[in-house]
Amino acid sequence: MPISVTLGARTWLERLWSGIADRGRPYADVPGIARPPLVRAELLARSLLSERGEASGAAVARELLAVLHDLNPEDRAAFRQFLAGAFLPDEDALRAAARAYLDEPSAARAMTLFEKAEPPRQEVLRRMNMAPGGTAALVQLRRELLGELKKQPELKPLDADLHHLFTSWFNRGFLELRRIDWDTPAAILEKLIDYEAVHEIMGWDDLRRRLAPDRRCFAYLHRALPGEPLIFVEVALVRGLASAIQPLLAPPEGSSPDADTAIFYSISNCQDGLRGISFGNFLIKQVVEELKGELPQIRTFATLSPVPGFRRWLKRRLDRSADVLLPEEEAAILALHPPAEGEERPGAAALLDSLADGEWWADAATDAALRKPLMRLAAEYLTRPNTGMGNIDPVARFHLGNGARLERINWRGNTAPRGMAESFGIMVNYLYDPDSIEANHEAFTRSGAVARSASVDALLALPAVAAPKPRGGYLPRLLGGTTEGSDKPAA
């Protein structure tokens, strides 16, 4: 189904709900417009719970969204506080249900306890979603909310309710995968330029390059947010593993060899209000299936990923300890800046931080001195066990948690300022091998073990880690992997 059909279906739904709301307005309890806007919004929210008819409820919900749209920022903040603090479960009814369950545990009493524990606020949000544009309004409300949580923790119950509802409303079964190409409506193409979060799209010519015949772009859309991608992935079709991003983004030079590898080089979440709702793992796996069907010669699926936390982590380590660098590494770095007579020699940590500014990588001596220690330390950073406490690189956590293998660490993979600032330009290939993806995922989530290649082990100067034994299961079959015990490559 083309995107235009999706947009048309949404327009039809809006007309339907608008008609229902129009017919329901005479029956709805809508406060008069003479009241202050914030007071009116609060009264409309309370009125939503008292409406029993579908048409009258849609009329109140539409009126509430119209009022919210026109509130000034201060009143919108106050309304969020109102939603978070009001509509709490009935304390007496909840206590009685809890006591009844403890006295006689049963499925029926557990269900009663569950019903009494759910805050009426969730029903208010569900009914707000009945209005045309209700989903978009609630996603925007959560986007504003997330920016206030640290300073206003009292908003957390509202955030928890929105997250709970979005998890259901944006379930994978409701998402539509769409290939984005140059024939996609311009309104959506503009969104890709705006939302690209990894490698900035420098205008329409750059976007055209990323949608060229040797490229692919796929996005998830949702019928309730017409024309708004939720997440998109950019793919380069190349021969062999790509080791640097600049060549992938550059204009093509003549004809390219037959591709055998799909490189996922950018994944961008588009809706801040849907933060914490997982789309990326489904997206990668579904795109793999799409590419395998379209291009059976593509047999390797990997990423070219940033390492956004590496430089920050290394600075903390160097600040805490003088034993981070091996003696020969420290000597090579110190030799780059011999002190003048009478000058105090800077420590390796300070020297490393000062050297890694500007285009240091263009100087052969500096490049050679920094390559070995930084590659070794990057391998150490990326292979630390996952303890579940957030101490692993966020991009690594995403791909390793999906069952990918840390395949290769690339020196000078991204020489753009952002790449240098985050990771000294280091980038990583994570390999999605259908035969081991499930075993890798289980090992990572259960024990924190990081699946990695022999080349990564060589950087660590450690014994190679035996690859997890593949086992038959749903995920290998989903990605076209072999069954347990087979040594044939995936199709």
Catalytic sites, residue numbers: 305, 399
Q: Which amino acid is at 190?
A: E
Tokens read off for 69: 């749209």
H or E element, residue 471: none
Distance CA 289, CA 263 (A): 14
Question: Edge-to-edge, what's the strand order for the sheet holding 175-179?
Answer: 175-179, 215-222, 231-238, 261-269, 300-303, 427-431, 405-410
Distance CA 165, CA 125 (A): 8
- Residue 305, classed as helix, strand or coil, is strand
Strands 215-222 and 175-179, by their bridges, are antiparallel
H or E element, residue 301: strand 300-303
Q: Answer for the pair 175, 282: CB distance below 8 angstroms, yes or no.
A: yes
Q: What is the DSSP string of 208-250?
A: HHHTSTTEEEEEEEETTSTT--SEEEEEEEESS----HHHHHS
Relative orientation angle of helices 54-70 and 3-24, to the nearest 10 degrees: 110
What is the SS3 string spanning 110-176?
HHHHHHHHCCHHHHHHHHHCCCCCHHHHHHHHHHHHHCCCCCCHHHHHHHHHHHHHHHHHCCHHHEE
Rounded to an integer, what is the distance from CA 173 to the centroid of its chain? Answer: 18
Distance CA 317, CA 311 (A): 10
Rounded to an integer, what is the distance from CA 403 to the centroid of its chain? Answer: 16
- Residue 268, classed as helix, strand or coil, is strand
Q: Answer for the pair 241, 300: CB distance below 8 angstroms, yes or no.
A: yes
Whole-angstrom CA distances from 182 to 20, 179, 211, 217, 380 are: 38, 10, 6, 10, 42
